[in-house]
Structure 1
Amino acid sequence: MSKDTKPAQKRIDQFFSGPGARADDWRDLVEAAKAWARVGNRAVYDTALADLAVTEEFYGYPGLHLMAALREAASAGDGATSLALATRITQALATRSFRQHAGDWSAKDDGNGDTPELVPPTFGAHTARRPYFETLIVTGVSSSQWPALAAEWRKLRRPIDGFIYEPVVVGSLEDAFCATMLNPNIAAVIINEGFGLRSRHNAPVLRSITASAGLNDESDASALRLAQIIKRVRPELDLYMISNRDVEELAGNPEANVVRRIFYSVEELLELHLSILEGIQDRYDTPFFDNLKKYAQRPIGTFHALPIARGKSIFKSDWIRDMGEFYGPNLFLAESSATTGGLDSMLEPTGNIKKAQEKAARALGADRVFFVTNGTSTSNKMAVQALLAPGDIAIVDRNCHKSHHYGMVLAGAQPLYVEAFPMTEYSMYGAVPLKTIKQALLGARADGRLDRVKMIDLTNCTFDGHIYNTRRVMEECLAIKPDLIFLWDEAWFGFARFSPFLRRRTAMGAANEIEAWMHDPKSVATYEKQQAELGKNPSDEMLLKTRLIPDPRQIRLRVYQTNSTHKSMSAIRQGSMLSVKDVEFHTVEQQFKEAVFTHASTSPNQQLIASLDISRRQMELEGYGLVANAMEIALAIRQAVNNNPLISKYFRILGADAMVPAQYRQSGFTDYLAAGVNWVNTLKSLDEDEFCLDPTRMTLVCGMAGYDGTQFKGILANEYNIQVNKTSRNSVLVQSNINNTRSDVAHLIRVLADIAGEVDRGLAQGGANARKTFEARVKSLMTDVPDLPNFSHFHPSFRGDAGSKTNEGDIRSGFYAAYDVAGCEHIRLNDPEIDRRLKSGPELVSANFVIPYPPGFPIMVPGQVITQETIDFMRKLDVKEIHGYDAKEGLKLVRSEALAKIGRPKPSAQPKLKAAS
C-alpha cells in the first residue's frame, strides 16, 4: 500500500505491510541503537522501539519476554545491551533460527547458541527438525497475566510432539483480527469468552473495517462472531473455542461449524493441546507423498515396463550415471508404473490419491478436486468435453488460451465469441466487459436459443493481470439463465485462494459467497424487491444497465475452476488442479470420467502427483505468508521502478489506472501506490469494481527504451540471467511469486538501472543522429501500433442458422475442413490477391487457428471470415512466431467450392444393391 512517510508505515492502521516491512522496522531499530551508542541520541531509538512494540505483540517471537527486556534496557539507559539484544533478535528473525534454537529466546547472550542455518538442510547432514508455528489465544484476562498464561501453555510441550508452537496472547476482537492478518505464523486460534471489542491502539483504518462488518459496540465482541470473522479471512486456520456457558447448546449451533472443537472452561488443557497438534498434523499429512516415500524404501522387484524404476539401469551404467548423480537415487526408487502395492491410480483413484484430492478440495474451497498431470491445457479440455455436447453454445472469451478453442473442436460445441476491451497502445487485450456477456445472453434469448447456451468460459485473471468480479459476473448471468455452467481458467491465479483480499475474486471464493447468500433468508426479499422495480417485461436496455440479482430459489450453482498449480505454487511443471463446485455434478460425473479417460495419461508421473500433494500442504500451512510476501515484493518493484529518476526515464510499470479503463473502476480506485491508498479503499475496489489488477503481475513498458518486448526479453535472459514469460509489442510481463525474495528485487532493479544507463550514455554520446533514430524507434513502438482486430464472424457454411442475431459457429466443421487438402488454398500475406478478394470477393475463410506470439490470442479461428483489419494487423506485426501461419506458403484458406459443399448430404460410399426380383 501507499506509504507516504516513514511513520505511516509503522502505524497499526497500515496493518498489512508484509514480512519485508517488519524486517525493515527491526533493522531501523538496530540502526537507531547504533546511533544512540555513537552520538548519544536515545530519543530516536525510544521512538522506534515504541512504534515497533505496537505490532510486535501480535507475534510469538520475540514475544513478551524479549520485548520487555528491550524496554527495560532502554529505561535503564543501557545502550550497549539495547544494541546487542536488538541485533540478536533481528538476526534470529532474518535467519528464522528462533524456530529451532532455544538460545534465541534468552535475553542474555551466553555465546553458546548454535550457528543459524543459512543453507537448506538438504545441502548437508542435518538433525531432525520440528516444524514451528504459533497459536493465537484470545482471552479476557488482563494483560498483566499474559506472561503467566503463556508460560502455562509452554508447560504442555512434550519431546514426542511432532510440532512445536508458541502462544500469542491478545485481549480484544480487533487485536485478534490484527494478529490474524499480520502474523503468517499463526496456524491455530483459541477463542476464550470474555474479551472486549476495541484494540488498545489507535487504528483509524481498522475502525472503518470493523464498522463495515457491523462491529460497533462491545456486545458485538462474541466468541462466535470472532470465529466467523477469522474463518472468512483465513479459512485454513483451525479454530478452538473455550466457553463457560452451555457448551452443548453452542456445539449444536449451525453457526459454530467453523470451529474445529469446543471445550468447556479450561478443564482439559492437555486435550486442547493435543487437538491443536492433531489439526496441524491433518494439514501436514500428504497421503500420496507420504506413501511414495514409504514405497521408495521397500525392496521391490520390478517386472513392468519402466526400466528406470529402482535406478539400476542408471547407476550401473558407465554412460548415463551422471543423470543419477544429478537427480539422486530417490527419484528412481520412487518411480513405478504399477497402481498396486500401496500405490493408486490417477484414472480411478480409490486410495491415497483420492485422499490427497479430498484435502486439496478442502484447501481450495471446492466440493472436489481432480489432479491433472498434463497441464491446465488438459484440465480445460477435460472440462469442456465433459460439460458440452455437439450443438451446445458456449460464450467464450476469444482471447482465452488455445486449449479452450481446441476443447470446443473436440466437443463439437459452438463458441459464441465475446471480445475483451482492447489496450491498443500496448498491443494487448484486457477482459470481457460484463455488459458484453449479458448482451450475448440476451441476444440468445431473443433468438429463442438461450436453452442451448450451456456455459460461460472466461480467463481469470488474464495473462496481464485483469481480474474479474467473479461473483457479480456469475450472479448477473444467473439472473438471465439460472442453470449456466461457469468455467473459470485461473491458470495463473491459484495463489489467490490464500489471500483474504484476492480470494473473493476467485471462482471458488465467489461460488462459496453466492452459496452462503442463497441460504440467507434476506436473499429472496432482495430478489423480489428488484423484480418489482424492473416490472414484468423489462427491456434489454434496462437489464443491461441494471446490477441484476438472481432468484436464489432457481439458481443451480455450477462452477469449475482450473489452476496451473505449477505456475503459482510449489508443484512440478505441468501440475494442475481442476476444482468443482457443481450441484448437478452427479448428472455429469460419468461423462467427466470419460473426459479424464480421454485426456489423462495412463502413465502419469509419480513425482508430479507428489508435488501436487506437497503444494497443497505448503499452501495450507504457510501459503498466507508466502502470498503476502509475493504481493509485498511486487509493490516494492513497482515503487522502485517508477520512482527511480534514471530507470523511470526509459521504463515504467503500468498501474491499475493504465491497465483498467476508468469505466470499469467504479469505486474510483487508481493504483496501489497512489497517494492516500490503503486497504480500506482497496477493499472497496475489490468488492465493487468490475475489473481489478492483480498486484503481482507487472507490465513493464520497455518501448520507451527503444526495445520491443521480444528483444528485451532476450536481453534480460541472455545477458543478465533474468527470465520473464510473456511479451507484447512494447512491454514484458514481470511477475512475483512465492519463490521471490528481496534479493531478486535488488537484482532486477540493478539490471534496469544498468540498461537505462547504457541508453542514456548512448544518446549522450551519439549526437543528433542517434537521438533521431532512437526517437523514431520509440515512436514506432509506442505510437505507431497496429489496431487490434476483433473476431468477425463465422462463414454461413459453419452456421446452423445464418439468420441468427448471435454469432456462434460450428468450429469443429471449420477445423476439419482443413483436412480436405484439395478443398484448401494458400495465399501469401502480401499477395495483391488478398486485397482484391477483400474488396470483390469471394470471402477469405480461415482453415485453421492463427495465433501470433506475442500477443498470444487467436486472430483467426477455423471457419472465420477474414477481414481487412485482421490482414492489416498481421502485416504490421514484427514478431517471428505465428502459430498456424507459414510465411512461405501464406494463409491457409477454405476454397469457395469446398464451402459450398459443406452441409450438403454426402453420397454413400457403397452403391445401393437392387432388390431381388
Structure 2
Amino acid sequence: MSKTDRPHMPSTLRTSDRSSGKRSPNSVDEGATSRPQRIDQFLLMHSARLDQWRDIAVIAEAWQARTKRREDLESAIQAMEAVEGFHAYPGPKLLAALRDLIADDDAGSTARMALRISNALLTRSYRERAAEWDPRGELGSDEVGDVMPPGLGDASQHRPYFEVLFVTAQPASRWPALAEELRRLRRPEDAFVYEPVLVGSFEDAFCAAAINPAIISAVVPEGLTFRSRYDAPVLRDVMRTLGIEDDRATSALRLAAALKRIRPEIDVFILSERRVEDLAGERSADCVRRVFYAVEEPLEIHLSILEGVQDRYETPFFDNLKRYARRPIGTFHALPIARGKSVFKSDWIRDMGAFYGINLFLAESSATTGGLDSLLEPTGTIKRAQDMAARAFGADHVFFVTNGTSTSNKMAVQALLGPDDIAIVDRNCHKSHHYGMVLSGVQPIYVEAFPMTEYSMYGAVPLTAIKRAMLALRADGRLARLKLLDLTNCTFDGHMYNVRRVMKECLAIKPDLIFLWDEAWSGFARFSPFLRPRTAMGAAAEIAAWLRDPASLDAYEAQQRELGGQPSDKALLATRLIPDPRQVRLRVYQTNSTHKSMSAIRQGSMLLVKDVDFHTVEAQFREAVFTHASTSPNQQLIASLDVARRQMELEGYGLVMNAIEIALRIRQAVNTHPLVSRYFTVLGAERMIPAEYRQSGFRDYLDPDATWGDVVRAMREDEFYLDPTRMTLVCGTAGFDGTQFKGLLASRYGIQLNKTSRNSVLLQSNINNTRSDVAHLIRVLVEVARDIEDRLATGGDAERAAFDARVKSLMTDVPDLPNFSRFHQSFREDSGDGTPEGDIRSAFFSAYDPSLCEYVPLFGPECDRRLREGPEMVSANFVIPYPPGFPIMVPGQVLTQETVDFMRKLDVKEIHGYEKTRGLKLLKPDAIAAKRKAKSSDVARKTSRAA
C-alpha cells in the first residue's frame, strides 16, 4: 500500500514537524487537517474515544429522525477506524454489522446498535456480558444496562477482563478467524478472561500498547513488518525519541524492548520458528517472559498469559489476611477489638461495627505468628509482597512503611548518614528531612529553589546551585564528607527534575554520591511513559543501562579531552558533565507516599532502593526500621500497600492516563471559559518554570502550536518539567487568598484541597477522579464568578475599589521570599569563609534548655533594634508557615531583615514553631557565646593532641 493510499490515523495521532519548520515526511496533504494537532488532544485520546462513540450514537439517532445525512454517520465511523483497530471491543464483527445496517438503510436498527456499543463502552458491560459481543444481541425486557460501577454489587462471579496484543503476519482478512481460534482456548476454570487485539506491524503494535490501557500482555512473532498500515507521523515522533526509527531491524526482541519502554508492566511472549534456544539465551531477552517455538503449543501460550497475569494479580499479604479472617481464632493478646466481639456485643459501640463491617475486625491482630508476618522482620507474606512491589516499581528492594513518608524519609536519612556527614538539601523539602538530619547529626548545606515570588512559592533547585555547592566542598577538601543529595521530586506544585541529568552530573563530581528523592506526591509516575524518565527509579534504570554501554566510556573520555587537565569551576558549571562509568557507584533511594497517589490507606508509604552498595548499609536500614516503625502496624494498611501494587501493575497505565486527561480537561475548561477565566487561571509551564530552565521552549500543554515532539523534547531535555496532574489555580485575581478560597470550597461546596499559597490553591487530579468531578468543579467556579460579578454590578464604585484593592494586595503587594541566610558561627566548624554546612543537631537540642532561650516579639522595636545593632538573632527551632509549608527558620540560623519582613507580611493562621503571644524563639546571645567558647576549647584540645 502506498503512503498516499494508507488510511489515516484520527487527527489526534497526526501532526507535522514544527520544530524544523518542515512538514513531516510521513504526512499527507489534507489541507487544514494536516496542521499540527494540539498535544492536549493527543493526551485526551482515551476519553475522546468514548466521546466520539457518544457522538456516533447521537448522529445515528439524528439520521433516524432525518435531521442528519447517512454520509455524516459514515464519516464519523470512518474517523474511528484506526483507533478501533487497537481495541477488542466493539471489534470487527460489530463494526461490520453496524456498517451493514447503514448500507441497508436501516436507521432504526443502526441507532439502537450504535447506542448499545456506546453504552457498553461507557459502562464497560462488555467485560461482563457475552451478549454485548453478539451483533444480534439485545437487552431483554427484564434487563437494564449496567449503570453502577463494577465492585458495588456481588463480585463472587467476577472474572477480571484484559486484552492481549497479538502481532501476526497473516493478512487482515484472516484476523477474525484467528481471533475465534484464540477464544476457543478459554476454559471455565480460567481465573481471568481476555480478548485478542490483532495487529500486523511493529508500529501498530507500539501504537496499540500506547493507546489501549487494557492491553497487559503481548505475543510477538519473528519476521514482522515495520510500517503501520496507517499514516501516523506522531507515532513515529514518539518512537524516534526512544531510538526506534530504523525500520530495517524489526526483530521480535526489538519490539519487546520497545513495548517495555512505554509499558514495563506488560508481559511479552515471543514466537519464533528458528533458533529459539539461542534467542532465549540472549541478554536482551531479559525483557521477555517466555520464548515459544512458533505456535506448536497454543494452549501453553494461553496458560502462560494467564499465569503472567496471576503473578501480578497475587497479593501475598492481602490474600493471607483474607484467609486468616476466615479462620476461627482465639485471641489472648493485647488487641480487644480483634474478631469484633467487644464491638458487636456492645449496646454502645455496635454502630462502629455496622459502619466498618465485620471483616475489618476479623482481620485485626497484633500477632505475627499463626500465619501472619512481621513488618519489622518480614520473612513470609510481607517479604513476598515487598519483593513484588520492587518488581513493579523498578527497584531492587522495597520497604513497606505504615507511618507515612515522613517516617520513610527519616528512616532513609538515619540509615545513610551519621554525625559529621554532610548532605546537600533543598531547604524547601518536607520537614521530615530536616528533623531526620537533626536526629542523625548530619550537617546540611541548604540550597535554594528558584523563587516564584508572585505566587509566594518556590520551584525546584537549579542544577548549577547543586554543582556549585559540590565544587565548593571539593575546593575546601570536604567533598569526602558529602554523602547525600536530598531533593523533592516532584514538588508540591508539580516541578519535576531532570533526574537523570542531575544524577549523572553530580556523579561526575563525586562518583559515589547517594541520592534521596522524595517522590511522596508522584509515586504514580512510574506507570506513565511521559513521567517515568523523571522518576528516581526510571532515571536510575536508564543510567544503569548507560553504564553498561561501551559508548559511555568513549563519551566520558571525549569530554575529558575537551575540558583539559584542570578545568575551572566556571567551565564545569557551564558543561553538561559526563561521569566516569568505571568509577560510578549508582546509589538511589526513593520515598513514595503510596496513599497520596494510589489506592492505599492513609499513611501507607514505600521506601524504594536501587543501590549497588546496599549490602554496606543493610544493617543500618534494619536499625532504622527498628527505630521508627511501629511494633503494632495496622494490618489493613499493609494489605492496602499490597493491593495498590497489584492495581498499578494491572491497570496503572490507564489510571494514570485518566488522571492526566482529567487535569488537562480542568486546565482547558478553566482557562477557556469566558466567565471563569476572568477571575481564575490554571498556570501553565510558562508561568511556573522560568524560560532559562525550559531549554526546549515548551510553554504549555494547551498551547495551540505545541506538538507532541515539543512535549517529548521538554520531557527529555528541560531542566524542569511540569507534572500535568498538578494544577496551580490562581484565586487572588478573584479577591481570595488561598486559605480563604480553600475554606469556601470545603464548607460551601464540598470540594477538598491540600495546599494553598498566598494567592492560589493546588488542584490535584488522581486515579480516583472522573469527568463528573470536572463538571462539579467548573460549575462551582462559575457560581463563584457569578457571585463576584453580581456583587461588583450592584455594589457601585466603593465595591469595585475594595475588590481592586484586595486583588492588588494579593497579586502585586506580595512579600519577597526569604532565602536561607546562614548558620551562626557557633554552629560552624570554620571561620565562616568555607562551605556553609552547620551543626543543626546541636542548635536544635540547645533549645531544650529553657534557660538558653529567649523570645523577641516579631512586631516591636526590639526586633528592629537587634537587626540593626545586634547581637544577632539566632533561631532556636524550626518555623514553618502553612502556606507555603517550608521552614523559613531552622535551628542555628541567623535571622535577617528579609526573613523578618516575610514573617510580618504573612497572613496565614498556621505557623508551626511560632507563638504569636510570645514572639520569635531565639537562642540567647550569652548561651551562644558560651557554646562558641566551648567549641574553641574543644578545637584547641584536638589540635594539641594532634601535635
CA distance in 2, matches of 1:745, 1:827: 48
2: CA distance, partners of 1:9 / 1:533: 40
CA distance in 2, matches of 1:197, 1:548: 36
Q: Residue 439 of structure 1 corresponds to which residue in structure 2?
A: 468
Distance (whole Å) between structure 2 residues aligned to residue 341 and residue 559 of structure 1: 36
CA 1:756/1:9 → structure 2, altered by over 3 Å: closer, same or farther? farther
Q: 1:571 aligns with which of 558, 580, 600?
A: 600
- In structure 2, the residue matched to 1:293 is 322
Which residue of structure 1 aligns with residue 102 of structure 2? 74
Structure 1 position 193 matched with structure 2 position 222 = yes
1:802 is displaced (CA, Å) by: 3.0
TM-score for both structures, normalised by structure 2: 0.94
Q: What displacement does 1:210 show?
A: 3.1
Partner of 1:53: 81
Map 1:13-162 → 2, pairs under 5 A: 16-38=43-65, 39-112=67-140, 115-120=144-149, 123-125=152-154, 127-162=156-191
Write out the 4+ residue segments of structure 1 that deviate beyond 6 Å after TM superposition.
1-14
CA RMSD of aligned residues (A): 1.8
Letter matched to residue 580 of structure 2: D
Contact 2:490–2:497, Cα closer than 8 Å, also in 1: yes
Matched, 1:247 2:276: yes
- Residue type of the partner of 2:198? V
Q: Is the contact between residue 138 and residue 192 of structure 1 (CA under 8 Å) also seen in structure 2?
A: yes
Of the three residues 737, 740, 743, the one matched with 1:714 is: 743
Residue 801 of structure 1 deviates from its aligned partner by 1.6
Report if the CA contact (8 A) 1:12-1:203 is conserved: no
Unaligned runs of 5+ in 2: 1-11, 16-31, 939-947
Alignment partner of 2:220: what SS? strand
Hey, what does 1:683 align to over in structure 2? 712
CA contact (8 A) 2:43 2:660 kept: no
Pick aligned residue for 2:331 from 302, 327, 330: 302
Deviations 1:253-289 (A, max 9, x none): 1111110000001100000100000000000000000
- CA displacement 1:594-627 (0-9 Å, x = unmatched): 0110000000000000000000000000000000
Contact 1:2 1:678 (8 Å CA) reproduced: no
SS at match of 2:783: helix
Specify the code of the residue in structure 1 equivalent to 2:804.
E
Structure 1 pair 783–16 and aligned structure 2 pair: CA distance change class (3 A) = closer
Counterpart contact for 1:135–1:189, Cα < 8 Å = yes
Partner SS state of residue 83, structure 2: helix
Assess, with a 3 A threshold, how the Cα gap between structure 1 residues 13 and 739 changes in structure 2: closer, same or farther.
closer
Distance 2:382 2:538 in 1: 24
Matches within 5 A, 1:780-795: 780-795=809-824
Q: Which runs of 5+ in 1 are unaligned?
A: 909-917
Question: Residues 803 and 297 from structure 1, CA distance in 2 versus in 1: closer, same or farther, beyond 3 angstroms?
Answer: same
Distance 2:441 2:103 in 1: 77
Residues 97 and 7 from structure 1, CA distance in 2 versus in 1: closer, same or farther, beyond 3 angstroms? farther
Give the CA deviation at 1:3: 11
Q: Quote how far apart the aligned CAs of 1:125 are.
A: 4.2
| 1:270-669 aligned within 5 A | 270-669=299-698
For the Cα contact (< 8 Å) 2:241–2:712, is it kept in 1? no
Cα distance, 1:905 vs structure 2: 4.8
Distance 1:194 1:67 in 2: 29
Partner of 1:702: 731
What amino acid is aligned across from residue 171 of structure 2 in structure 1? S
One-letter code aligned to 2:127: R
> For 2:617, what is the secondary structure of its paired residue?
helix
- State the alpha-carbon separation in 1 of the partners of residues 844 and 653 from structure 2: 44
Aligned AA for 1:92? Answer: A
Report whether the alignment pairs 1:845 with 2:856: no
Matches within 5 A, 1:676-825: 676-825=705-854
1:584, 1:158 → 2: CA distance? 47
User: Counterpart in 2 of 1:912?
Assistant: none
What letter matches 2:786 in structure 1? G
The secondary structure found in structure 2 opposite 1:291 is helix
Distance 1:362 1:548 in 2: 31
| Cα distance in 1 between the residues matched to 2:34 and 2:129 | 33
C-alpha contact (below 8 Å) 2:14/2:232 kept by paired residues: no
Secondary structure at the counterpart of residue 429 of structure 2: coil
**Shift of residue 118, structure 1, vs aligned partner:** 3.0
What secondary structure, in the 3-state scheme, does the structure 2 residue paired with 1:317 have? coil
Structure 2 partner of 1:915 = none
- Determine helix, strand or coil for the equivalent of 2:779: helix
Q: Match of 1:311, as an amino acid?
A: G
Query: Does the 8 Å CA contact 1:10/1:52 hold for their aligned counterparts?
Result: no
CA 120–300 in structure 1, closer or farther in 2 if over 3 Å, else same? farther
CA distance in 1, matches of 2:883, 2:33: 41
Distance in 2 between residues matched to 1:195 and 1:135, nearest whole Å: 17
1:8–1:14 contact (8 Å) kept in structure 2? no
Cα gap change, 1:741 to 1:12, in 2 (>3 Å): closer
Distance 1:660 1:121, change over 3 A: closer
* SS of the residue 1:31 aligns to: helix
Q: Is the 8 A contact 1:391 1:414 kept in 2?
A: yes
1:459 aligned partner, one-letter code = T
User: 1:214 & 1:824 partners in 2: Cα distance?
Assistant: 61
Question: Aligned match of 2:862 in 815, 823, 833?
Answer: 833
CA distance in 2, matches of 1:659, 1:847: 33
More off after superposition, 205-214 vs 342-351:
205-214
Corresponding residue SS for 2:80? helix
SS in 2 for 1:746: helix
**Aligned letter for 1:698?**
M
Separation of aligned partners in 2, 1:504 and 1:313: 51
Is the contact between residue 197 and residue 217 of structure 1 (CA under 8 Å) also seen in structure 2?
no
TM superposition shift of 1:69: 1.4
In structure 2, distance between residues paired with 1:587 and 1:674: 49
SS at match of 1:347: coil
CA distance in 2, matches of 1:60, 1:867: 65
- Hey, what's the Cα distance between the residues in 1 that align with 2:887 and 2:701? 32
Q: Secondary structure at the match of 1:220?
A: coil
Structure 1 pair 7/118, CA: closer, same or farther in 2 (3 Å)? farther
Counterpart contact for 2:737–2:757, Cα < 8 Å: yes
Deviations 1:290-337 (A, max 9, x none): 000000000000000000000000000000000000000000000000
Aligned to 2:3: none
User: CA separation of 1:778/1:13 partners in 2, compared to 1, >3 Å: closer, same or farther?
Assistant: closer
Asked if structure 2 preserves the Cα contact closer than 8 Å seen for 1:13 and 1:205, the reply is no
**How far does residue 804 in structure 1 lie from its aligned partner after superposition?**
4.1
Tell me, yes or no, if the aligned pair for 2:540 and 2:586 is still in contact at 8 Å.
yes
| Displacement of 1:229 | 0.2
Shift of 1:79: 2.2
Q: Deviations over 1:758-806 (max 9, x none)?
A: 0011001101110000000000000000000000000000011233421
Indicate conservation of the 8 Å contact 1:468/1:505, yes or no.
Answer: yes
Alignment partner of 1:902: what SS? helix
CA distance in 2, matches of 1:482, 1:359: 30
